[in-house]
Structure formats: structure tokens, C-alpha cells
A = this chain, B = another copy of it.
Amino acid sequence: MTTSEENYLKVIYHLSLVSPKGVNTNAIAAMLDTKASSVTDMLKKLSDKELVSYQKYQGVTLTEKGFHSAKMIVRKHRLWEVFLVEKLHFSWDEVHDIAEELEHIKSESLINKLDSFLGFPDFDPHGDPIPNADGEIKKVTKLLLSEVELNKEYRCIGVKDSSSDFLKYLDKQKIALGSTFVVKEKESFDDTLLVEVNSKHITISNKIATNLYVH
């Protein structure tokens, strides 16, 4: 499979999770920063290879085979992200683009040895689950920080928004994967939270709280 095909599959996979009955050509084009006409071309090619089922004008879905391939690409991407953050000490917001390249390295033994080297992690540094070698995905009930009960302890397991700005804000506040939160007070007027993080009290806006997953 070419790098380009893999990128299409991965994007279709992510979009399928939101619109399982069929992914639009334009949505794919927007994600890949390309043109709808290019997408149509590629969909035909992927359809010929039986990785997607595609009828023109009707959107596209992954076949069983395509779904598995997509999960393997996601697996590689997320394992490399763990490597970059945990071993090479990159910060959250720097790893995506590099992992985007690394995910296309073609070697099954490489990725399985990397998995083992990293201790078979279940989640990546953004809190997203890492499919195992068989494509199975661990599910965890994720709560938004904005939804939790007062005075209970929660652990940060990921982010909803993974934009660079947001991740940089978190770094500045010393909030990382695994940070523990206890919400002490909730301001009913604007839903601002008073939160204890790393044994310090900080104020967290509703916008931030609706983008942090905890458990």
C-alpha cells in the first residue's frame, strides 16, 4: 500500500467514527488538504482493491479489510507518538507531524518490537486508545472535566481538542497525561471551575474543561 492510500484510509477511518453510514468526498478532501476530484480518483482505486465500498455520489465506507488496515495505521501512529513523548521527550504538541511520517514505515516486526519496548501501552499521549496487534481497542469511559462530580479525584486521560495552542496551554499549566484533578467549586454563572491539580489550586474555564478527558 502506498503512503497516499494509507493516508486516505486513515482519514476515512476517523470520519467513519462520526458518520458511520458513509463518508463524504468533500470531508475527506478537507482533512487531507486536497481537492474533491483527487478524492474521487483515490476512492475508485481503493474500491478496486476492496478496501472501501464505494458507490458514486453515495459516500464511502470501509470494508472489513480496509477497517483492519486503517486500525494498523492508527496503531503505528499512536505507538510512535508514545515513543516520541516518553523516550525522546517531545512535548504533546510536537509529535503529531513526525508520527504522521513514521506511521508509514512498513515493517510488522518493527512495530511489534516497538510495542514491546514501550511496554504494550493501551493509550497514546493524547489519551487515544492504541489498537493491539490484532486490531482490538481498549475502551474506557471518558468523562469531560466539565461533567465530573465535585470533590472526587479524577485522572487526566486525554484531550478532545488536540490543537497546538491547547496543548501548549496545558504544558504551561503543567497539566499532562496522568495529572490528577479534584474539582472544588463550580461557578454557576460561567461554569468556571476551581480545580486542585498537582496539589495547587487553579481556575479552569469552561472551554478548557470541555476539552479535557478524565477518568
Contact = CB atoms under 8 A, between A and B. Distances in A.
Interface of A: 84, 87-90, 94, 97-98, 101-102, 105-107, 109-110, 113-114, 117
Contact of A88 (B88, B94, B106, B113): B113
A106 B101 contact: yes
Given A87-B117, A117-B88, A105 B101 contact: yes
18 contacts: A84-B110, A87-B117, A88-B110, A88-B113, A88-B114, A88-B117, A89-B113, A90-B109, A90-B113, A94-B109, A97-B107, A98-B105, A98-B107, A98-B110, A101-B106, A101-B107, A102-B102, A102-B105
A117 B90 CA distance: 12
A147 to B, nearest CB: 37
Given A97-B107, A101-B105, A102-B102, 16 more contacts: A84-B110, A87-B117, A88-B110, A88-B113, A88-B114, A88-B117, A89-B113, A90-B109, A90-B113, A94-B109, A98-B105, A98-B107, A98-B110, A101-B106, A101-B107, A102-B105
The list of the 5 closest CB pairs from A to B, nearest first, reads A88-B113, A101-B105, A98-B107, A98-B110, A88-B117
